[in-house]
Amino acid sequence: MPLLQQYHFNASLSSSSSPFVAPLSAFNSSASRNKNVSLPPPNFGICRCVATPQEAKTQTAYKTNVSRNANMGKLQAGYLFPEVARRRNAHKEKYPDAQVISLGIGDTTEPIPDVITSSMSKKCQALSTLEGYSGYGAEQGEKPLRAAIRSTFYADLGIDDDDIFVSDGAKCDISRLQVVFGSNVTMAVQDPSYPAYVDSSVIMGQTGQFQKDVEKYANIEYMDCTPENGFFPDLSKSPRTDIIFFCSPNNPTGAAATREQLTRLVQFAKDNGSIIVYDSAYALYMSDDNPRSIFEIPGAREVAIETSSFSKYAGFTGVRLGWTVVPKELLFSDGFPVARDFNRVVCTCFNGASTVAQAGGLACLSPEGLKQAMHEVIGFYKGNTEIIVDTFNSLGFKVYGGRNAPYVWVHFPGRSSWDVFAEILEKTHVVTTPGSGFGPGGEGFVRVSAFGHRGNVLEACKRFRQLYK
């Protein structure tokens, strides 16, 4: 029986556009995972402008003689997730008594298991002693953690401990890799895809101007990933680029590439002399028998880098810990190892991940940590995903993702993604993410995140049913 059917929804649609203002009380609050989180009304003060309009006109701001980075001017509006947060906050000002539920930004909500936080606490306490204090660590990460990452995720894949660079998160490493590549490379992304790939390329100067008629930047190859092609690009129609950003399971579509598809991708990179930057941040959410690492594919060590994170595995979105694998076999066109340049950038721009966070990461990879964080918590979020998928399926929507990722990709054909986002927020007080924020291929879709307390997910789904029944 689908998990959704275990719950009973009894709600009727109010004629008001903002019916969901009462606190929840119908769900069990004895366990943190079943809590419904009601946000208190914000306390807004009164701000008075002391300058008259005439005074403002006569004031002239001082300007330096430093020109702005022209590439920053190419960026369109705000970065997607801060823009979603801005609109959510504006909505909360408009409806201060509403219980706003966020299923937009992919931020985890469940507590980090004690086996992990106790290790971090122990490390913190040790810093208060002469024997336990430590200052700067290795920029590449502590050796025990690098070894644990290799044995847990890359055993028998030809990856060595020193191929692994521990960091403060996969997103940060994406930007460091862009520094390594520089401004004179060409790049390709899945469309739709995580916006950091494109925005970091724009900032580095790899792209041309934004073309409003097609909603794309010039000099970027957008590889169409649609329901019609199973969310895997037609490589026969893709021109050669230097760098290929590829995420599987994909954010936002939730699609996971098969072994045969990744084999084609690796061969495509080899044929073109390209480098794949493979984002595996959601690999442990995989339910199907698909590769969890690009290095499961023969020959990938010669053409691929892999980046990953503890954020969505163990609730480390605020703790900040990730890693990137750069194999020794990966060489630039002149034969220079990519890993040596990445190491130089890391040593120049970064002083290493927090030792406290690394203690938590090591605990994550212990047998008990793997059980509690990597399996039980992930299983909880996958249960949320099933509820959301069942809800939209029952309403007659085309729904993608969910099975292999904590995101549900819902199709609203013929409609603007931002309009759907606004409609859902206004009429249900639920925050989603507009698909067009992930690229032009996301237009007509919204992404619904499964990261949330169970009671809030159930309440959000009840509201979806009322709105779209």
Q: What is the pLDDT of residue 119?
A: 97
Joined together, the tokens standing for residue 415 give: 């409609």
| Residues making up the chain, counted from first to last | 469
Q: Following CA atoms 447, 452, 455, 458 in sequence, which dihedral angle do they give, to the nearest 10 degrees?
A: 10
Under the banding of pLDDT at 50, 70 and 90, the label for residue 57 is: low
Higher pLDDT residue, 53 or 94? 94
User: How far separated are the first and last CA of the chain, in Å rounded?
Assistant: 22
CATH number of the domain located at residue range(s) 115-367 in this protein = 3.40.640.10
Instruction: Report pLDDT digits (tens) over 6-16.
Output: 544 444 333 34
CB 293 within 8 A of CB 306: yes
Instruction: Report pLDDT digits (tens) over 95-139.
Output: 999 999 999 988 999 999 999 999 999 999 999 999 999 999 999
Among 32-36, 183-187, 205-209, 406-410, the range scoring the smallest mean pLDDT is 32-36
Where does CATH 3.40.640.10 sit in the chain?
A: 115-367
Residue 415 has a CB neighbour count (10 Å cut-off) of 14
Q: Judge whether residue 324 has pLDDT over 70.
A: yes
Under the banding of pLDDT at 50, 70 and 90, the label for residue 93 is: very high
Which whole number is the average pLDDT over 157-168? 98
Where does CATH 3.90.1150.10 sit in the chain?
A: 3-36+50-56+85-110+371-467
Which whole number is the average pLDDT over 50-79? 78
The CB-side HSE value for 326 (13 A sphere, CA atoms) comes to 24
According to CATH, the topology of domain 3-36+50-56+85-110+371-467 is Aspartate Aminotransferase, domain 1 (3.90.1150)
pTM of the model as a whole: 0.87
Q: What is the pLDDT of residue 4?
A: 53
